[in-house]
């Protein structure tokens, strides 16, 4: 008798089903791995964003507390500059301010040579050449410029630009003045414009040394910091200006009072002398 052939398990519909099931399981495993990878990236991004927001809130609260505690515009600027230098790891901060009423412009400079040294601060009024150096045309609200090498016609920079809403602008076109580049040694610079009620406007510059650069997120961080801290600094500026005007008016009033008092004293003295002269009897004539 002939032997019956057993069905081959490696052929037929069952083999096809097992093959499809194996491919389906592999596809499902790949999808799960991809899903877990994307979730890890999302959680990491959210964690970094939360950390950035916590740092921003703490920094804003700390700076505003110092602004409220310090007296005088110079002390306020010193407190703000020290925080910016420490937070951004920068070596120099420049604040260019233009007053709307007086049309005068001022340059505040703060510099720190190292982490262990105290930051210096100075302020000076700017003329037309310095205005062109710092208030050059900038077709964006905020800018990060990183020096990427020397070109034959000047410095070459890698630019990142943001509009007033913090959105990144494509193909930004901006040239840093040669006067600015030659006056300050830096590898990377952040620039943020600001304006408060058309009375106090200008630009904030934060500079890093030649061996360091700012990370991409630092520009957004500085822009948000200016939006949050700027009104408190502007209030300190208004308070300082009001105190200065009150002092000038007080000095002018005191001068008027002194002047009027002296005039009244002299008039009174003259009238008194005239009265004394009339009351004094004349001497009798001498006999011939």
Least confident range of 4-13, 56-65, 108-117, 197-206: 4-13
pLDDT mean over 256-275: 56
Residue 80 placed within a domain:
yes
Give which of 140, 146, 144, 182 is closest to 164, Cα–Cα. 140
Please tell me the predicted confidence (pLDDT) of residue 272: 47
Q: How far is CA 87 from the centre of its chain?
A: 12
Q: How far apart are CA 117 and CA 111, in angstroms?
A: 10
The number of distinct structural domains making up the chain is 1
259 pLDDT higher than 70? no
Give me the sign of the Cα torsion angle 161, 164, 168, 172. Answer: negative
Cβ atoms of 230 and 199 closer than 8 Å? no
Cβ atoms of 176 and 195 closer than 8 Å? no
Cβ atoms of 67 and 167 closer than 8 Å? no
172 pLDDT higher than 60? yes
Which letter, b or e, does each residue of 33-54 get, where b requires 16 or more Cβ atoms within 10 Å of its Cβ? eeeeeeeeeeeeeeeeeeeeee
Q: What angle do CA 126, 130, 136 make, to 5 degrees?
A: 125
pLDDT mean over 151-159: 67
Domain that holds residue 133: 52-243
Q: What is the CATH number of the domain that holds 188?
A: 3.30.450.40
Please tell me the predicted confidence (pLDDT) of residue 282: 45
* Residue recorded with tokens 């005088």: 72
DSSP secondary-structure letter at 175?
-
* Residue recorded with tokens 């020290």: 82
Residue 9 placed within a domain:
no
Residue 7 placed within a domain:
no
Residue 46 placed within a domain:
no
Residue 98 placed within a domain:
yes
Q: How far apart are CA 109 and CA 204, in angstroms?
A: 10
Whole-number Cα distances in Å, 62 to 57, 79, 82, 87, 92: 9, 10, 12, 12, 20
> Which of the pair, 203 or 67, is modelled with greater confidence?
203
Residue 10 placed within a domain:
no
Whole-number Cα distances in Å, 8 to 3, 5, 11, 12, 197: 15, 9, 6, 8, 87
Residue 38 placed within a domain:
no
Task: Give rounded-to-5 percent helix, strand, coil for the chain.
Answer: 50, 20, 25
Residue 102 placed within a domain:
yes
Measure the N-to-C terminal CA separation of the chain; round to a whole number of Å.
196
């Amino acid at each position: 008798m002939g032997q019956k052939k057993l069905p081959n398990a490696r052929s037929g519909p069952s083999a096809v089903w097992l093959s499809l099931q194996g491919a389906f399981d592999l596809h499902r495993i790949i999808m799960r791995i991809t899903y877990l990878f994307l979730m890890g990236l999302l959680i990491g991004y959210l964690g970094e964003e939360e950390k950035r927001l916590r740092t921003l809130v703490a920094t804003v609260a700390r700076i505003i507390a110092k602004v409220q505690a310090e007296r005088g515009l110079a002390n306020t600027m010193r407190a703000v500059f020290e925080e910016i230098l420490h937070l951004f790891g920068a070596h120099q901060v420049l604040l260019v301010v233009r007053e709307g009423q007086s049309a005068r412009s001022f340059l505040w400079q703060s510099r720190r040579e190292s982490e262990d040294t105290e930051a210096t601060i100075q302020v000076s009024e700017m003329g037309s050449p310095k205005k062109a150096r710092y208030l050059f045309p900038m077709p964006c609200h905020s800018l990060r410029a990183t020096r990427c090498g020397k070109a034959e016609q000047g410095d070459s920079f890698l630019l990142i630009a943001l509009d007033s809403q913090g959105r990144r602008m494509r193909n930004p076109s901006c040239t840093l003045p040669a006067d600015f580049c030659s006056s300050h040694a830096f590898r990377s610079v952040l620039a943020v414009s600001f304006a408060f009620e058309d009375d106090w406007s200008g630009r904030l510059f934060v500079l890093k040394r030649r061996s360091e650069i700012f990370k991409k997120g630092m520009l957004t961080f500085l822009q948000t910091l200016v939006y949050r801290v700027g009104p408190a600094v502007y209030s300190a500026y208004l308070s300082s200006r009001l105190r200065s005007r009150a002092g000038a008016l007080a000095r002018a009033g005191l001068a008027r009072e002194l002047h009027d008092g002296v005039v009244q004293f002299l008039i009174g003295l003259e009238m008194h002398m005239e009265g004394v002269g009339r009351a004094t009897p004349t001497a009798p004539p001498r006999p011939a």
